[in-house]
Chain A
Amino acid sequence: GQSLEQPSEVTAVEGAIVQINCTYQTSGFYGLSWYQQHDGGAPTFLSYNGLDGLEETGRFSSFLSRSDSYGYLLLQELQMKDSASYFCAVRSLDSNYQLIWGAGTKLIIKP
């Protein structure tokens, strides 16, 4: 079967760096995406990794290791507006190439 695991909650301090991990178990892996969702809002796209390595977009970076079935989202210089839930999603053969979503990580930022 297929599964994605990510921590349910992470707490960090404003201005700090935080890493949100995602491990997956699937067949025919085609890529890992990250989305941000504020309470009551819709998911918004952050990043996509189709190949191993680091992708950087401003304060956010995402990393993928296909051999370890593992990825992470790195948020730097945390701001209060980064308080949200973060979802990893995997596209795989198991799901007929459609995205399978993790349960989300709630990021709590303290001043």
Chain B
Amino acid sequence: NAGVTQTPKFRILKIGQSMTLQCTQDMNHNYMYWYRQDPGMGLKLIYYSVGAGITDKGEVPNGYNVSRSTTEDFPLRLELAAPSQTSVYFCASSHGQGGTNEKLFFGSGTQLSVL
């Protein structure tokens, strides 16, 4: 019963490097999300997906890309990493939105530092 699994847990990048954060869920959820959380702040939505093949921008999409080729996987790509992308990244999923579907399930997070 894994839930939402994120890898890696920690990563240090140099400015200009690229990387992919992996996220997979085994709950057959339609909705998946990528958030970033800066110290002492709430979560900011980067991208989200309502199903395989469908993605949309959130509040802070610049510098990131996503894809959703399967229901289970929702990788986040960082191109040309910048110090402003230093943050904790959380992947989450939900069955739907609103009412009894409102509950988001989160992965354990990725601590990313760009130096």
Contact = CB atoms under 8 A, between A and B. Distances in A.
Contacts of B53: none
Interface residues of A, number: 25
Contacts of A45: 102-105
B43 A101 contact: yes
Contacts of B59: 95, 100
B8 to A, nearest CB: 15
A101 B44 CA distance: 7
Contacts of A43: 43, 90, 104, 106
Interface string B5-33: 00000000000000000000000000001
Among B33, B106, B108: residue with most chain A CB under 10 A: B106
B42 A91 contact: no
Contacts of A44: 106
A93 to B, nearest CB: 13
Contact of A87 (B43, B98, B108): B43
B70 to A, nearest CB: 22
B43 A42 contact: no
Contact of B108 (A42, A48, A89, A91): A42
Contacts of B56: 96
A33 B105 CA distance: 13
10 contacts: A31-B99, A33-B102, A41-B109, A42-B90, A43-B90, A45-B105, A48-B103, A87-B42, A95-B45, A98-B45
